[in-house]
Structures are given as C-alpha cells and as structure tokens.
C-alpha cells in the first residue's frame, strides 16, 4: 500500500458520494433530446388545457424567458402560492440553488445546489416556499432560463414575488466547489 507524506496524510479525505437529500416537493424531470445531422430538438412538455403531463397537478398559467449576463447572480426569489418549473437550454450553464424555508417542512433548512444546462435537458419543479436563485457559470456569454409558472405575475396586492438577499445563505454558496 502506498504511503503518503505526513502533510498529505494529515489532509487526506475521501469525497462523499452518497446522494444528497432532495428538498420535499422538488422534482427533476429528465427530458429526451432528439438529434440528427441538422440539429437537435427537446420537447419541454405536453399540455392538456394548461395541465403539464410530465408534472402531475401543475397547470401552466404563464411562460417566461430570462437572460443572465456572464457570471451574474439572480437570487433569491420566493413565492407563497406559485410553483416554478425551470428549463435551461443544454448550450447554457447555470448553477441553481434551492433552499427550503417552509416552517414545518420535513426538509426545512435543506439546501440543494446543482447545474442546469451543460449538455443536459431537464425540468425542475420548485414548489412554493422554496427560495431559488441562479448564477450564470459562463464567463464570456449569457445563459437563458425558460420557466413556466402556475400563477400569473402581477404588481398589485396579489403579487406573489418575494425576495431574500443574494447572500442570505452565505456568499460562498455561489462559489464553484473545489476538490
């Protein structure tokens, strides 16, 4: 068995490969991407009177498109009633951070971080009470988000868009994990 230097032995650790605990109500739907010699196509969902077939119970009321400039952080958004379903094109790369701030939730306080886009096609359902934000990991190009919501946006007293500071869960949450 190979011996390490004393300093390397002192700092040696094994990476944790156990699956991370998922926030209650967060769903990830892997999408099929169809390729041919002319390009690619991804079906984002089939709707039946607004009901999204891959996300039972989710009725689409509005569809939005957002652009983040290189390395921009947009966080944290929260809703009391609204569910978001996010899609980031596979050509883009965003770090999504979710945090369960629902009192009494079985996963209260749980944080999830993962990359969207980056050659994958998937939807992420974000339930009400889960704070969410993202960082564009691209250094020289913008990245896009397409998102579906079940509550139409309003600026009046019915507004369901609330915020927390971008560093509410610590500024380090946005940094690339090293190791």
Does residue 13 belong to any structural domain of this protein?
Answer: no
Please count the structural domains in the chain. 1
Indicate the helix (H) or strand (E) that contains 8.
helix 6-11
Give pLDDT tens digits for 130-177. 999 999 999 999 999 999 999 999 888 888 889 999 999 999 999 988
> What tokens were used for 90?
């596979």
Q: What is the pLDDT of residue 12?
A: 87
Domain encompassing residue 160 = 19-174
CATH number of the domain encompassing residue 142 = 2.60.120.10
Does residue 92 belong to any structural domain of this protein?
Answer: yes
Average pLDDT over residues 80-88: 97
CA-CA distances (angstroms) from residue 11 to 8, 78, 164? 5, 39, 36
């Amino acid at each position: 068995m190979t011996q390490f230097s004393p300093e390397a032995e002192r700092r040696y650790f094994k990476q944790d490969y156990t699956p991370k605990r998922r926030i209650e109500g967060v769903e990830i739907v892997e999408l099929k991407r169809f390729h041919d010699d002319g390009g690619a196509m991804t079906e984002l969902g089939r709707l039946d009177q607004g009901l999204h077939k891959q996300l039972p119970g989710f009725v689409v009321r509005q569809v939005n498109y957002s652009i983040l400039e290189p390395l921009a952080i947009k966080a944290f958004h929260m809703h009391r009633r609204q569910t978001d379903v996010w899609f980031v094109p596979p050509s883009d790369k965003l770090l999504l951070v979710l945090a369960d701030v629902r009192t009494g939730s079985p996963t209260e306080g749980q944080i999830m971080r993962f990359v969207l886009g980056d050659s994958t096609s998937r939807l992420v359902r974000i339930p009400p009470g889960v704070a969410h934000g993202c960082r564009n990991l691209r250094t020289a190009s913008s990245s896009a988000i397409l998102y579906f919501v079940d509550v139409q946006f309003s600026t009046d007293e019915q507004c369901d868009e609330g915020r927390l500071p971008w560093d509410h869960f610590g500024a380090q949450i946005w940094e690339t994990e090293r190791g």
